[in-house]
Homo-oligomer: A and B are copies of this chain.
Amino acid sequence: MSNKRALTDRESALPALAEAFREHGFEGATLASLSKATGLGKGSLYNFFPGGKDEMMEAVLENIDGWFADAIFSPLENVSDPAAAVTAMFDDVTAYFRSGRRVCVVGCLGLNSSGETFAVKVKDYFARWISALAHCLEVAKVPPAMAVDLAEEAVSGIQGAIVLARALGDDASFQRIVRRLQSTLLDAIGRYG
């Protein structure tokens, strides 16, 4: 297979690209910084991503979305033990966002106008997260309207915790907030399950 190498390298550059976008934002990330982050020259970068920065971000979003689909969304959508699934979600999310030290690329994109190009992907990511979590709560017999409300609150709360933890430079606050969100959900599950 002639394109095996190419695809592999393109794929393996994504985490570094994601990290660079996380650190500097989409506008703030220059080709020079992306080149340094990945260890690839400009030539290679444009070889793998002919569409430039836009295509790189697109690929990064796809990659992130894939990770979340596997690690977060699917387990919630195909849940058998809701309480365990919720606990696992919070554990995975805390690890993924490094207790708020790591920023959510998707959330950040939505915040300024440079991300308008990716608006659909951003929206879908959050919509799917909320509906997956709401489904999980409904399986635990939480009334549908309340399930959606709680799911929305939890996803939003995680984003807020990232903002606050970054602003205060204090991941302990992230942990506290997320722990509270988790018990709110577990309480609801316990109440109806």
Residue among B28, B123, B156, B176 making CB contact with A161, cutoff 8 Å:
B156
Chain B contacts for A166, CB-based, 8 A? 110-111
Chain B contacts for A2, CB-based, 8 A? none
Residue among B25, B163, B167, B176 making CB contact with A123, cutoff 8 Å:
B167
Given contacts A152-B177, A157-B160, A164-B156, whether A24 and B113 have CB atoms under 8 Å apart is: yes
A127 to B159, CA, bound (A): 18
Stretch from A64-72, A82-90, A100-108 forming part of the interface with B: A100-108
Give the interface residue-count category, chain A. Answer: 35 or more
Of the listed residues A111, A158, A180, the one surrounded by the most CB atoms of chain B closer than 10 A to its CB is: A111
Q: Does A149 contact B (CB under 8 A)?
A: yes
Where chain A touches its partner, the secondary structure class is helix
Given contacts A25-B112, A103-B112, A112-B108, whether A160 and B156 have CB atoms under 8 Å apart is: yes
**Contact yes or no, B164 A177, CB < 8 A:** no
Within 8 A of B (CB), among A126-141: 126-127
Q: Does A168 contact B (CB under 8 A)?
A: yes
Chain B contacts for A173, CB-based, 8 A? 152, 156
Chain B contacts for A108, CB-based, 8 A? 111-112
**Contact yes or no, B149 A155, CB < 8 A:** no
Question: Which chain B residue shows the least CB distance to A177?
Answer: B156
Given contacts A152-B177, A177-B152, whether A28 and B114 have CB atoms under 8 Å apart is: yes
Which A residues are closer than 8 A to B by beta carbons? 22-25, 27-28, 103-104, 106-108, 110-114, 119, 122-123, 125-127, 149, 152-153, 155-164, 166-169, 173, 176-177, 180
